[in-house]
Chain A
Amino acid sequence: DAGITQSPRYKITETGRQVTLMCHQTWSHSYMFWYRQDLGHGLRLIYYSAAADITDKGEVPDGYVVSRSKTENFPLTLESATRSQTSVYFCASGLRLAYEQYFGPGTRLTVT
């Protein structure tokens, strides 16, 4: 199916564990983004990537690691999960940084 997919859709993990959220897009968009959405904060950019092997920090990058070895995939890793990282995570893609972005369905992550 064409579009942007995220997996898993729901995840519960314990404090201190490593967890990886997956994002896959089929449009061959150059840019990919990871956001988190929290009540009262709206969407905040964690990391973004302009192309394979090119990544950059967003507004709230601490505690997260990204990689992009292939254009279509942009995984987000929480190296040692904390309760403050409980959130809904959205992946998005787009042709250019400031242009229209297409969002995935989100991953609801709970850190206990």
Chain B
Amino acid sequence: KQEVTQIPAALSVPEGENLVLNCSFTDSAIYNLQWFRQDPGKGLTSLLLIQSSQREQTSGRLNASLDKSSGRSTLYIAASQPGDSATYLCAVSSFGNEKLTFGTGTRLTIIP
């Protein structure tokens, strides 16, 4: 059974710094991996989707990488802004079970 872990559960960073969020998964036979953002009291917004055959995806200041062999993905946020404060979740779809398995998220706070 696929398990997805995100450590740390919470992270505070001064504005302007670059930062990395981590996601690890136990079964490397993944179909794809997605990163979502969740603002307090709101639903999830898809940020990036990385296919199994890809190593990374970029969107603006966000860059997500995927290393299947080590069971890890990172979300890199460049030049952080207070508006980046939110909870970031990763979710994995695996071969044989394509339904998404979510991590519990990292709550990010950008300090002005």
A45 and B100 form a contact (CB under 8 A): yes
CA distance A40 to B5 in the complex (A): 11
| Chain A: number of interface residues, binned into ranges | 20 to 34
Query: How long is the Cα–Cα vector from A63 to B42 in the complex, in angstroms?
Result: 25
**Which residue of A is nearest B30, CB measured?**
A98
Is A98 touching B105 in the complex (CB atoms < 8 A)? no
Q: Is B46 a contact partner of A101 (Cβ separation < 8 A)?
A: yes
**Cβ-neighbour of B42 out of A41, A100, A102, A106 (below 8 A):** A106
In the complex, per-residue mask of B84-110: 1 if CB is within 8 Å of any chain A CB, else 0: 000001010100001110111100000
B34 vs chain A, min Cβ distance (A): 7
In the assembled complex, B19 has its CB within 8 A of some CB on chain A: no
The verdict on B45 contacting chain A, using a C-beta distance below 8 Å, is yes
Instruction: Contact check, A45 vs B104: say whether CB atoms are below 8 A apart.
Output: no
A102-B46 in contact (CB<8A) = yes
Name the CB-closest residue of B to A108: B41
B99 pairs with A42, CB closer than 8 A: no
B60 within 8 A of A: no
Name the B residues within 8 Å of A104 (CB-CB): 43
Q: In the complex, what distance in Å separates the CA atom of A20 from the CA atom of B32?
A: 32
Closest Cβ–Cβ distance, residue B28 to chain A (whole Å)? 16
Tell me which of A43, A45, A58, A103 has the highest count of chain B C-beta atoms within 10 A of its own C-beta: A43
Min C-beta distance of A91 to chain B, whole Å: 9
Most buried by B among A44, A58, A103: A103
Q: Are A42 and B43 in contact (CB under 8 A)?
A: no
Residues of chain B at the chain A interface (Cβ within 8 Å): 4, 31-32, 34, 36, 41-46, 49, 89, 91, 93, 98-100, 102-105
Given A42-B102, A45-B99, list of 14 further CB < 8 A pairs? Answer: A40-B104, A42-B4, A42-B103, A42-B105, A43-B89, A43-B91, A92-B43, A101-B46, A103-B36, A103-B43, A103-B44, A103-B45, A105-B42, A106-B42
Residues on A facing B (Cβ under 8 Å): 40-45, 48, 58, 90, 92, 97-106
